C-alpha cells in the first residue's frame, strides 16, 4: 500500500494546528481491521480537536475524525472479511487513535460494526456519532418507560447535529416535540424536522426558576448540560426521563433532589463513546429501521476532503446546523 492523504493534528509548543500530509501505512496505529475510508463527518468534538479550542486530543500527533466508514481491505478478525462495508465511530478514534480524516484507517475489531442492511455508507456518516448518540438516548429513555402516550418531550441544542436528529427521530415516532434553540432564525428548519413548538433559550431565566416548576415534559434529550439541565429537571412530569448527552453550556449542575425524589424523574447518562456490543450494533440496526430519521437528506450536506479545514470554524462559532459529511473516497 502506498502513502495516503490524511489531516494530521499536531501540538507545537502548546499551539494546536492541523494540516494535510502524506502518511505511510506504517504510521497507522495498531488494529485488526484496515479500512479504505469512504466518508467521515464533522462533529462539534472534531472541530474542538482540530482547532485546539477544546482539550480533546489525548495524543499528538493524531489524525482527526471520530467517525469513519468504508470497505475492509485487510482483517485479522473473521467477523470483518475484506470487501465488507463497515462503520467505526467513537472509542479513541480521532482523539488518541488515528481517525477518519484519512484515506485509510486501522482500528481494533471491537470498534467496528457491519453496515446495516438498508443503509448506505453515505447515510451512515450523515448519521455518524451524532445519530448514534441521539438514537442511544431515545433507546435508553424508552427502556425507562418513555413512549408517546406519556406526554411531550423537549430537545435542547435542537439545531445541532444530535439535536436535529433527535427532533426528527422523536417526531417520526409520534412524540410531540419542543425544540429549544438559541437561533430564532432556524424556527422553520426545526418545524420542517417535526418540532411542534419552538422555545428560545433567551426566554429562560436560569437565575429565577424553582426546584419544581410546572410539569411540562415526559422526556428530554439534553445537549447543553449546565444550568439548563437543572432547569429541565424542574419541569419534568411525574416519572419523566432525561437523557443527558452533552455539555455545551457547562459541566457543573446546581440543582436539588426535589425532581428526583418528589416526581421520580430519572437522569440517564448516555455514553455513546464507549458502549460496546451487542448494544452498539443494535442501535445502528434501529437507525436503519424504526429510528431512521425521515429528513436526514434535508439536514445533511457534503464537502470534499480538501475543503475540510475551512469547515471547522462554523462549528466553533455556533453557526453550524444539521450534519456535514466529508467525502474521502466515496462509494
CB 179, CB 162: distance < 8 Å: no
Q: Cell numbers of 285, please?
A: 440496526
pLDDT at 217: 98
pLDDT at 248: 86
pLDDT at 86: 98
pLDDT at 230: 97
pLDDT at 175: 98
pLDDT at 141: 98
Ordered by start, the domain boundaries in the chain are 4-115+296-327, 130-269
* Sign of torsion over alpha carbons 65, 69, 74, 77: positive
pTM score, whole prediction: 0.96
Which residues of the chain are modeled with pLDDT < 50? none
As to burial, measured by CB atoms within 10 angstroms (0-12 exposed, 13-18 middle, 19+ buried), residue 65 is buried
Task: Classify domain 4-115+296-327 by CATH architecture.
Answer: Alpha-Beta Complex (3.90)
Candidates 3.40.50.980, 3.40.50.720, 3.40.50.300, 3.40.1190.10; CATH matching 130-269: 3.40.50.720
Amino acid at each position: 500500500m502506498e502513502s495516503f492523504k490524511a489531516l494530521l493534528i499536531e501540538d507545537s509548543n502548546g499551539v494546536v494546528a492541523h494540516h494535510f500530509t502524506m502518511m505511510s501505512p506504517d504510521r497507522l496505529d495498531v488494529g485488526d481491521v484496515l479500512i479504505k475510508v469512504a466518508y467521515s463527518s464533522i462533529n462539534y468534538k472534531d472541530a474542538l480537536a482540530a482547532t485546539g479550542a477544546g482539550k480533546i486530543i489525548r495524543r499528538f500527533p493524531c489524525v482527526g475524525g471520530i467517525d469513519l466508514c468504508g470497505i475492509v481491505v485487510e482483517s485479522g478478525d473473521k467477523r470483518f472479511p475484506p470487501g465488507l462495508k463497515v462503520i467505526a465511530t467513537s472509542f479513541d478514534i480521532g482523539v488518541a487513535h488515528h481517525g477518519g480524516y484519512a484515506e485509510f484507517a486501522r482500528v481494533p475489531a471491537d470498534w467496528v460494526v457491519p453496515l446495516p442492511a438498508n443503509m448506505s455508507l453515505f447515510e451512515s456518516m450523515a448519521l455518524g456519532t451524532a445519530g448514534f448518540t441521539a438514537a442511544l438516548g431515545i433507546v435508553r429513555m424508552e427502556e425507562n418507560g418513555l413512549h408517546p402516550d406519556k406526554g411531550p418531550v423537549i430537545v435542547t441544542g435542537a439545531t445541532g447535529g444530535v439535536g436535529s436528529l433527535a427532533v426528527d427521530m422523536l417526531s417520526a415516532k409520534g412524540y410531540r416535540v419542543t425544540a429549544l434553540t438559541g437561533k430564532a432564525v432556524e424556527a422553520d428548519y426545526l418545524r420542517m424536522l417535526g418540532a411542534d413548538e419552538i422555545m428560545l433559550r433567551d426566554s429562560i431565566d436560569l437565575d429565577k426558576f424553582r426546584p419544581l416548576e410546572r410539569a411540562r415534559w415526559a422526556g428530554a434529550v439534553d445537549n447543553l448540560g449546565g444550568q439548563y439541565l437543572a432547569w429541565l429537571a424542574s419541569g419534568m412530569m411525574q416519572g419523566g426521563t432525561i437523557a443527558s448527552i452533552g455539555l455545551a453550556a457547562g459541566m457543573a449542575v446546581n440543582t436539588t433532589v426535589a425532581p428526583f425524589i418528589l416526581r421520580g424523574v430519572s437522569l440517564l447518562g448516555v455514553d455513546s463513546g464507549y458502549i460496546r456490543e451487542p448494544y452498539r450494533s443494535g442501535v445502528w440496526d434501529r437507525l436503519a429501521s424504526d429510528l431512521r430519521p425521515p429528513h436526514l437528506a434535508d439536514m445533511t450536506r457534503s464537502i470534499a476532503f480538501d475543503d475540510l479545514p475551512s469547515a471547522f470554524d462554523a462549528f466553533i462559532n455556533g453557526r453550524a446546523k444539521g450534519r456535514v459529511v466529508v467525502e474521502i473516497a466515496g462509494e
